[in-house]
Amino acid sequence: MTYLAAAIQMTSTSDKPANLEKAERMIHLAAARGARLVGLPETFNWRGKRPEEAAAAEELGGDTLTAMSRLARQLDIWLLAGSVTEHVPGESRRYNTSVLLAPDGAQVAVYRKIHLFDIDLPGRVTVKESDAKMPGASVVTAATELGTMGLSVCYDVRFPELYRRLVYAGAKIITIPSAFTFPTGEAHWEVLLRARAIENQCYVLAPAQFGTNVHGFADYGNSMIIDPWGRVLARAAEQEGVLVAPIDIEYLERVRRELPALTHARLR
């Protein structure tokens, strides 16, 4: 089975309606190019200042995911709503949540980011995601007609044990919607994505944020689609846009058969 997947690269702002309008336009473009699986980046619907985050957060039945569900149905696609800031009743902090939508609009997988981005690179970027976010606790896969998908978000990519658990749960396509900072992205983004693809013999779909964000630092962009041999099939230019590449499940199975490293693992 071979089909096309698309990764959408965006520069999201604190203007949620404008972000959603842009996302819808780019999803339509991806579907028009034949994509059966379309991925949006992390926090695609809203990126704003920390004091405004509580008001911008939504529950899973909120306007953003309702709109994305409608698009999945309308276009008959599998749609990864990269991540949204999920409101949790009774909690002062929120989840960073990725949702996979089926062609009938159903939410078939909900993943709450496990690893939170708390770093300080003096003079370049300081982020403490845990001030406003709670970590998730569940490893999430979804068996689909396109192959089993394993969900993750951005900073998770630095923790290979998560991805090995995803592949042991059957994952063939790994999704990594991101908003990688420029300094860490320039140094590590491609090598981490390719490593996760190679060591798990999976396709990697990594849609990302690009450009100067509302926090005043730059996101790296370079959205990618990578095959199980570690080859970069498609890479975004330095702008917003849609990239498309083939997912070939028979090729994935051949890679795993000819180099059966996953069956040789001794430590689990």
Cα–Cα distance, 165 to 225 (Å, whole number): 21
Q: Amino acid letter at 26?
A: M
Strand, coil or helix: 236: coil
Residue 99's beta-bridge partner residues? 81, 110
Just list the catalytic residues: 42, 113, 154
Cα–Cα distance, 96 to 118 (Å, whole number): 14
Cα–Cα distance, 139 to 24 (Å, whole number): 28
Tokens encoding 208? 């990302």
Tokens encoding 26? 């780019």
At residue 152, φ and ψ (nearest 5 deg) are -155, 175
Tokens encoding 226? 């990578």
SS (H, E, C) 112-167: ECCCCCEEEECCCEEEEHHHCECCCCCCCEECCCCCCEEECCHHHHHCHHHHHHHH
Whether the Cβ atoms of residue 175 and residue 8 lie closer than 8 Å to each other:
no
At residue 78, φ and ψ (nearest 5 deg) are -85, 125
Tokens encoding 245? 């590449």
Which DSSP category does 265 fall into? Answer: -
